[in-house]
Amino acid sequence: MATSRDEMKQSLTFRRYEDGDDKHLPWNQEIWQASWTHKCPTYVHRTPPCQGSCPSGHDIRGWLDIVRGIEKPSDGMTMQEYAFRRNTDANPFPSIMGRVCPAPCEDGCNRNMVEDHVGINSVEQYIGDTALQEGYTFAAGEDSGKKVAVIGGGPAGLAAAYQLRRKGHAVTVFESYEHLGGMMRYGIPGYRTPRDVLDGEINRIINMGVEVRTKTKVGVDVKLEDMERDYDAILFAIGAQSGRPLPIPGSDATNCISGVAFLSAFNEGRLKAVSGRVVVVGGGDTSIDVASVARRLGHITVENEKDRPEHIIINQTAHDAAMIANRSGADVLLISRSPIDKMNAAKHEIDDALREGVNIQGQLNPVEVIRGADGRATALRVQKLADDGKTPLDGEFEDIEASLIVAAIGQTGSLEGMEGFDNGRGLIDADKHFQVPNKKGYFVCGDIVRPHLLTTAIGQASIAVESIDHYLKSEQLVKRPKVDVHHFNLMGKLMETGLQPENFQAEANDINGGLRGTSDANYAVHNYEDRAAYEVIPADELFLGHFAYTPRNKRDHIAVGAEEVLGHFEERLVPLSAEQAVSEAKRCMSCGMCFECDNCVVFCPQDAVKKTPAKQKTTGRYVYTDYDRCIGCHICADVCPTGYIDMGMGE
């Protein structure tokens, strides 16, 4: 009987050496003399690729190991709260980011080499949702007496306010909008970032003692000169709230608007419908959001000029709710220079948009906006491109009828009253420490540096706050680590569990100062090396044969069809249950850190690798080596699934 494709998938095998391999490893990696080698195991901590791929750099492996039960909390704390504390060391928005982050961490996951990545986002959402349900709070640090002004209440500004309060600095957030949240509120529709969830995570930060001044535009309502007098440091986190127009003739027509403006008007509750055909230009997540929102808003027939969507958006007015009673499905077309399968938007978002009735066409380049006698755009002229999404096809032009053209092709900042900081591109320059060059006391982070992901803004905020903290303490800034993330700290873990090394005491009668015999002493962390700040561990340093085929625990996804999308603003993601979240966390391979599988203990032929006594063990200190018994056979390193063991001592 033939083996089915599914059975073949579930019977994966792993071979470290393939047929025909006859080359010995370099002698500096394996040095043998008869039956022994001078190399003994070293336990080496490295950064996993999920964390290395995460722009906010949070300790993903760490909180997954907590959820799965490997790393235990202390002081009676629950697993859920302990995972929340570890997660939010870097990211104070686990519920939101677990929903909307495009998850570059999952692309980097080494589990992709076995069958499928770990559902990191789904477990993060479980952690964040549980924290909101249980009412977990943040604590501020001891008052430093310093005050910092944060300009902008979006993800970057709020993340910075959170990190600053943890360090004890007073914070005032200045926000030009009525509500905090920035792009999380005004740039992403509520069915992707539920407002009760967003408000819950924002309020948790505000309740740390953050002062908030909304509807206050710095540079207009408050002068920077006055802020310099009142605050010890100033952080720009104003985002990029202005969309870039199409760089083609005719794009200044009134019914040619930006995706940022469209989504802001919708999220403020002013834009309630569209009229005529909507053509969206883009290819990224913002363009998908615009097209999907337009489908949900639906089409109405406009009687009065003032009710056209572009006037609602530009003039900051609002549709009369009564107008939408007779709305019908909207005709929405999204065009991209790239082929559809190479668009920047997440694949599941593209699939959702297609299912919801959005027409998507790739390989089209806008060249001109066709205008009518009244000056309004009537069509968008496009030129067809070759499969590479770059090469124009001669003579291949088409005029696409349009009543509203929405450009979602990039963003820039609004620096009114702060023109001296404009780098000429509507953004603000930053050095590697996120200081504003040649502007002492000024720092910057988020989209105003370079528009990117929400998680990028959050990660930059963390680094900027470290720089601010050094500045406020008059400390010199040091070089950032090569792998700049929130690393697991073994010494911190040992201190948390009361297992820190003893104070070193030199022996008066020892000419070497008591440094001999450290393998038996308690004043050092033995046979451990931390390379996490310098190395990301690749899949080829793991023993992948340890991991059995295990399907991913996927979140249910409510599929909305074209017939039911009109007025459908409910959330589409169904979160994992607690059992599913734990099961999914167990799929993590804990790359670069011991996850207590016992392989090294079981396979050691000399009984040289032993379990650390229960009263002395903690994460990263599960096993140790008896050097009197070790013959350097390398077996422990070969069978270590996580790549935590290197044959390195003795060099």
- 341: Cβ–Cβ under 8 A, 6 or more apart, which residues? none
Given this model, what pLDDT does residue 650 score? 46
- Please check whether residue 157 is in contact with residue 218, taking contact to mean a CB–CB distance below 8 angstroms: no
> Looking at the structure, do residues 272 and 377 belong to the same domain, yes or no?
yes
Domain annotation covers residue 209:
yes
Which amino acid belongs to residue 76?
G
Select from 402, 272, 244, 258 the least CA-distant residue to 332: 402
To the nearest 10°, the Cα dihedral for 505, 510, 515, 516? -130
Domain annotation covers residue 172:
yes
Joined tokens for residue 444? 């910057």
Longest Cα–Cα distance in the chain: 100
Given this model, what pLDDT does residue 3 score? 38
Given this model, what pLDDT does residue 278 score? 97
Domain annotation covers residue 574:
no
Question: Which of 395, 411, 427 marks a domain boundary?
Answer: 411
Q: pLDDT for 571-591, tens place per residue?
A: 999 999 999 999 999 999 999
> Looking at the structure, do residues 284 and 383 belong to the same domain, yes or no?
yes
- 528: Cβ–Cβ under 8 A, 6 or more apart, which residues? 42, 43, 44, 45, 490, 620, 621
> Looking at the structure, do residues 318 and 299 belong to the same domain, yes or no?
yes
Given this model, what pLDDT does residue 1 score? 36
* Helix H or strand E encompassing 297: helix 285-297
Our count of domains for the chain comes to: 3
> Looking at the structure, do residues 442 and 493 belong to the same domain, yes or no?
no
Select from 421, 584, 461, 538 the least CA-distant residue to 157: 461
Q: What is the extent of the structural domain holding 442? A: 140-241+413-472
> Looking at the structure, do residues 290 and 367 belong to the same domain, yes or no?
yes
> Looking at the structure, do residues 285 and 403 belong to the same domain, yes or no?
yes
Domain annotation covers residue 581:
no
Given this model, what pLDDT does residue 294 score? 96
Given this model, what pLDDT does residue 47 score? 96
> Looking at the structure, do residues 313 and 196 belong to the same domain, yes or no?
no
Domain annotation covers residue 560:
no
Question: Which of 360, 394, 411 marks a domain boundary?
Answer: 411
* Helix H or strand E encompassing 401: strand 392-401
> Looking at the structure, do residues 235 and 294 belong to the same domain, yes or no?
no
CATH of the domain at 391: 3.50.50.60
* C-alpha dist (Å) from residue 488 to 160, 485, 593: 21, 9, 10
> Looking at the structure, do residues 270 and 347 belong to the same domain, yes or no?
yes
Select from 33, 470, 41, 11 the least CA-distant residue to 232: 470
The segments of the chain whose pLDDT lies below 70 read 1-38, 504-526, 649-651
How many angstroms separate the CA atoms of 173 and 572, rounded? 32
> Looking at the structure, do residues 261 and 306 belong to the same domain, yes or no?
yes
How many angstroms separate the CA atoms of 270 and 319, rounded? 6
Q: pLDDT for 229-252, tens place per residue?
A: 999 999 999 999 899 999 999 999
- Please check whether residue 213 is in contact with residue 171, taking contact to mean a CB–CB distance below 8 angstroms: no
457 by DSSP, 3-state: which? helix
Residue tagged 């082929």 (tokens): 339
* Helix H or strand E encompassing 288: helix 285-297
Q: Percent helix, strand, coil in the chain (nearest 5)? A: 30, 15, 55
> Looking at the structure, do residues 527 and 614 belong to the same domain, yes or no?
yes
Given this model, what pLDDT does residue 508 score? 53
217 by DSSP, 3-state: which? coil
Given this model, what pLDDT does residue 544 score? 93
- Please check whether residue 46 is in contact with residue 537, taking contact to mean a CB–CB distance below 8 angstroms: yes
Domain annotation covers residue 78:
no
Domain annotation covers residue 578:
no
Given this model, what pLDDT does residue 305 score? 85
In sequence order, which ranges of 92-222 are alpha helices (DSSP H)?
Answer: 94-100, 104-108, 120-134, 155-166, 183-186, 195-206
- 225: Cβ–Cβ under 8 A, 6 or more apart, which residues? none
To the nearest 10°, the Cα dihedral for 35, 37, 42, 47? -100
> Looking at the structure, do residues 177 and 223 belong to the same domain, yes or no?
yes
Which amino acid belongs to residue 494?
L
Question: Which of 396, 411, 426 marks a domain boundary?
Answer: 411
Domain annotation covers residue 80:
no
